[in-house]
A and B are shown apart, each in its own frame.
Chain A
Amino acid sequence: MARIRQAGDRKRPKASTGAMAGEAARVSVLVGLRRAGGRGATLVQLGCRKVGDAKYRAIRALVGEGAVVVFGDGRNALAVLADRAPTGEALARKIDARASMKRGCALGREDVAAWCSAAEEFLLDGTLRLLVKSGRLIALRRGEATFYTHADSFVAVQPGSRPKVSEPEKPSGHDVRFRVVEAYRRLVERDGFSNVIIADLRREADISQEQLVAHLLDQSRCGRAHLGRGDWSLADEATRQAAVIVGGEPHLRVRLVV
């Protein structure tokens, strides 16, 4: 119950104020980092006002304990809980998988960075060097710019030997679905309509026409894809060639239920 403060009341000792403030800062940092998850949070976002303040000291202590990892330094340093922090190996596997889907494409650093979270981007340059060194990526230089392409984009030919022609690995059923859905999302985001052109979907997903048709027909039967006839008279050759025939009629567009 609240009461009025009296003149003879002793004041609380000052030493305990500092300890309580430090504990409060630690708790606040941990709560903030849990909320941020794998994205992490900058020191500023966690409430650090200056080097040496309570939050700053709390973060340094957590780093020392191995509970938090900090990427970079200065105002843009990013803190992540250790159990959520990206590792170089995981990032390398991720870039390897994504780049293999883009066989034959020359990817700039920005293209690869677009696949990364803010925390992963701190590891990006080192990971790219690792992948190039291990032969998973090939670095191509043009002027000052460096591009990367997946090693499977090329086949090495030795003089006097028959060229080794390897069939590109056919994506598995699960992979086809993943690619189609991801490609669909990108097209909807780009064009603003949920009924996308099937030819565009095939190009974006980078799968064969046969695979796409089989997948879309299967999804259409289940009600997870809705094929639309569009306007044949306005379609170019590429769009027509990618048509899915249902009931004897060509369908040029599809809307996925994602």
Chain B
Amino acid sequence: MANGQPAGDRQNPFEDNIVFEPRRVERPVTGLNDAALDALAARVRPLLGGRRPRVDARLPHAVLVTSVEPGFGKSHLIGRLLVKLGGDATLVYVRPFQNPATCWRSILLRAVQELDYPEGGPSGSTPLDALACHVIAELVARAIRAGLVEGVEREQAALHVCSDPVRVFGGQDEAWSGWLRREFGNLLPFMESELRRSGLDLKALSGSWLRAFFHYIYSREDFLRRTMCVDWMKGEALDPGEIGEMGIRPSDLPRPDDSAAELNDVCKGRLFDLCALAGFHRPFVFCFDQTELYGDDAELAAVFGTVVAEMVQNGLNQMTVVTANLDPWTRLILPRLQLAYRDRFCSPAIELEGLDIGQARELAGRRLEERRVDEATSRVFLSAEWLGGVFSEKQRHGARHFLQLCRARWEVLAGREATVAPEAGLAELYARCAEGFLQKPKRLQYEPDILQWLVQEVARGWRGVMVSAHRHPKGYFSVQWDLPGRRVVFGFENGSNWKRWEGIARDSAALAEGARAVGVGAKSVLLRVRRHPPIPGSWRIAPDIEAAKRSHLHVFRLTDRQLAHLYGAHELYANAVQGDISASGVEVMQFVRGRLESFWRRLSEPPGADIGGDASDIFAREPEEILLDEVHRVVGEALFIGLEHLAARMLRPWGDAAILDACRHEPAIEVVGGDGAVALRWRTYD
């Protein structure tokens, strides 16, 4: 590099300016928004102290964090809060719900997904393990102090079990873990009684929660049982026979034929129960982000206000944080909230500031250092003349705006054009959004609100599709498409209860019959993910479900790669609406519609129809699930294997093309090719 000028082929150090994942944030700039962070942390503090369980730890308001324009660091601030709290709270990131009728299901699903995710790696314990162990440890300690446990020194033993509940009851302390497994049934009546006497007003029976916690802790090796515990906590309709083995009463189970409103209510109860039980361990911080998306729909915005108000009123041990850009908040959302609900937000709101010149120099300097730019180039780049010019008229700039100025300056110094054409920019941004999801498996959880947004909002502009709401009394379906000669209804069923699926198949058949009577073909599409068990399971009614799947019921089990691209589309749109990228929401919608053309065709065609498309189109078709499972297993074991050897180790002769297609759908597998030889490499996620 001559004279401190960047080389023309050097990558721009200022390309990545959007925080996609608040948990992975850049080191904060000295002093920037420290006051806002301190204010947030101070609000959580009342939830941290006091004797456990904290039965009346309730904050009087939700916290509104705003910025005058996008790119002032709202997501970054939430990430910093998590670091500052140092494991003293569970952060639940809540994306906008799409269906007012299932709003509480959406929030509960996110909370339980967050709790059920192993923090230290696939075999590590989860925050739910910690919560369960803390609840049980406190109650066991009381039992010890009450003299119910013989052969121990009371106070010493009580202190020991509470000193590190995860280690004591999570399996590392074999003596106590083994003891609890044997004695849980005998202790249960006392523990139930103590839980009731704690003053917690739980909606589900205290015994049900204790049983769910106990079986969750001790079912690490029994995936099905552990999943059942989680599904119960999510408010799913479960088979009374299966869950009855764990001792959970039928009265604490939603029925498969419950209405959508009843199921939503159960989920609300579960959520507030979790918040109450968090008093034994650590509070929740619920962060409602991307709130601009509520601005599109008056009903959604109004329901959002109701949700926040109820969280404040009824949610113990939690802080509700809402982040928003100021103009969308004051012009689109606030006017749609009931007056009484507006008072649930703290006043004044926390308002973020921009960078001053010193902070800007630090931020840019750090980026240059991280990208190993030499000192001479850095000095030229951060010349006093340039920086002084940027800060001459305005003493503060938003962090992202400043980084965009840096990006443009780098391009100019490198002798390149400073601007990028929108289409190329969108394609690149979309690819990065999708890649972001592929790199973080945790983000590939089931998100029914995003899937509903895709088929409801994005599909609206596709080839004359008439999109409408489909209000099913039991919530089986919620969106309807009407196309020439065809009708499609969509459902987002998270559960795998056979009786509920029997209802779904029956009502799907009825819809198809009704449509046929007016000369229209019809099908029902249920969007699911790879983490869901296959439908049907080993059920008595499996043949009926299979017959339905061949005719009018399309259970579309999305692969991780498909999911990443669908979620990436939503992320791209959210970034546009929030002003995080220069493209508008309308532009992104058009772009996404085009990119997902084969997806819409798959959804609208009869089940099993071949829509054509080339091998690289991940939505044209997906591999058979058995093939996906086999490929996942073999490559996962081998870590690096040639295609020929992989084919040889498969149980069936799938053919190279099918195997490669399956590998492309598996984000954990990288296809490495060259000179006619193809190999598969198992990627490790961080």
Contact = CB atoms under 8 A, between A and B. Distances in A.
Contacts of B327: 230-231, 234-235, 252-253
A231 B328 contact: yes
Contacts of B584: 233
Nearest to B401: A229
Interface in A204-250: 217, 220-223, 226-231, 233-235, 246-247
A221 B388 CA distance: 11
Given A231-B327, A234-B331, A193 B66 contact: yes
A91 B325 CA distance: 44
Contacts of A217: 393
Contacts of B394: 220, 226-227, 246-247
A217 B395 CA distance: 11
B17 to A, nearest CB: 16
Contacts of A220: 393-395
A109 B437 CA distance: 64
A226 B354 contact: yes
Interface in B311-334: 325-328, 330-332
Contact of B330 (A191, A194, A221, A246): A191
B69 A234 contact: no
A71 B330 CA distance: 45
A246 B394 CA distance: 8
B392 interface: yes
Contacts of B347: 192
Given A226-B354, A228-B68, A193 B326 contact: yes
Query: Helix, strand, loop or mixed for chain B's interface?
Result: loop
Interface residues of B, number: 24
A253 B328 contact: no
Contacts of A230: 68-69, 326-327
B393 A226 contact: no
B100 interface: no
Contact of B393 (A193, A233, A247): A247
A193 B351 contact: yes
A227 B396 CA distance: 8
Contacts of B392: 221
Interface string B392-435: 11111000010000000000000000000000000000000000
A234 B328 contact: yes
A239 to B, nearest CB: 9
B118 interface: no
A17 B328 CA distance: 71
A222 B391 CA distance: 11
A223 B297 CA distance: 39
A255 interface: yes
Q: Which of A217, A220, A222, A234 has the most CB of B within 10 A?
A: A234
B326 A253 contact: yes
A51 to B, nearest CB: 44
A225 B347 CA distance: 22
B330 A226 contact: no
A255 B68 contact: yes
Nearest to B69: A229
A48 to B, nearest CB: 38
A217 B392 CA distance: 10
A221 B325 CA distance: 25
B447 interface: no
Nearest to A254: B68
A195 B351 contact: yes
A246 B401 CA distance: 13
A231 B393 CA distance: 20
Contacts of A252: 327
Interface in B323-372: 325-328, 330-332, 347-349, 351, 353-354
B635 to A, nearest CB: 47
Q: Which of A220, A228, A247 has the most CB of B within 10 A?
A: A228
A193 B395 contact: no
Interface string A172-201: 000000000000000000011111000000
Contacts of A229: 68-69, 401
B79 interface: no
Q: Which of A217, A222, A230, A246 has the most CB of B within 10 A?
A: A230
A235 to B, nearest CB: 7
B623 interface: no
Q: Which 7 A-B pairs have the closest CB atoms?
A: A228-B68, A231-B327, A223-B395, A195-B68, A229-B69, A246-B393, A234-B327
30 contacts: A191-B330, A193-B330, A194-B351, A195-B68, A220-B394, A220-B395, A221-B392, A221-B393, A222-B395, A223-B395, A226-B353, A226-B394, A226-B396, A227-B394, A228-B68, A229-B69, A231-B69, A231-B325, A231-B326, A231-B327, A231-B579, A233-B584, A234-B327, A234-B328, A234-B332, A246-B394, A247-B394, A252-B327, A253-B326, A255-B68
Given A228-B68, A235-B327, 19 more contacts: A192-B347, A192-B349, A193-B326, A193-B330, A194-B348, A195-B351, A220-B393, A220-B394, A223-B395, A223-B396, A226-B354, A226-B394, A229-B69, A229-B401, A231-B579, A233-B584, A234-B327, A246-B393, A255-B351
